[in-house]
Amino acid sequence: MKRWAIVAVLAVAAPLGAPGAAADVVGFTSPSGNIGCMLSDDLVRCDIAARNWSPPPRPADCPEFTDYGQGILLHPTGPASFVCAGDTALGGGTALPYGQFQAGGGMSCNSEPSGMRCSNSDGYGFTLSRQAYTLF
């Protein structure tokens, strides 16, 4: 996916606010390449290519013409939720080595051998791996 498309998706997904410059978007992947993430000041989103689990049921407000459950997103405050979108965060950046983190906008993601773990300053977040996911 082209960088401009990801910026547009993040801008649409973020809550409306005062006009200003576009947020910087940082893309990164798990060392295996199975998880791709995008981080801006407004949200972090991680998508997964191959998984051994199923997401929860599609919510009624997620249109059938979009994908659902391919990833999880988190805002600077509040709980994480599954992605309902027709794009992807996969392949958007370089590998984040195990034991390293990417942070911004009151959120951070840690690359771990067990998967990606992202959280916000409220203590909410998610883990994402081929084997499982958790929302906390």
Give me the chain's average pLDDT, please.
87
Instruction: Give yes or no for residue 121 having a pLDDT over 70.
Output: yes
DSSP string for the chain: --HHHHHHHHHHHSPP-S--SPPP-EEEE-TTSSEEEEE-SS-EEEEESS-SS-PPPPPTTS-TTSEEEEEEEE-SSS--EEEEESS--TT-SEE--TT-EEEETTEEEEEETTEEEEEETTS-EEEE-SS-EEE-
pTM here?
Answer: 0.82
Q: What is the pLDDT of residue 92?
A: 87
Instruction: Give yes or no for residue 2 having a pLDDT over 90.
Output: no
The model's pLDDT over 14-65, given as tens digits with 9 standing for 90+, comes to 433 344 455 689 999 999 999 999 999 999 999 999 999 999 999 999 999 9
Q: What is the pLDDT of residue 15?
A: 36
Mean pLDDT of 93-119: 97
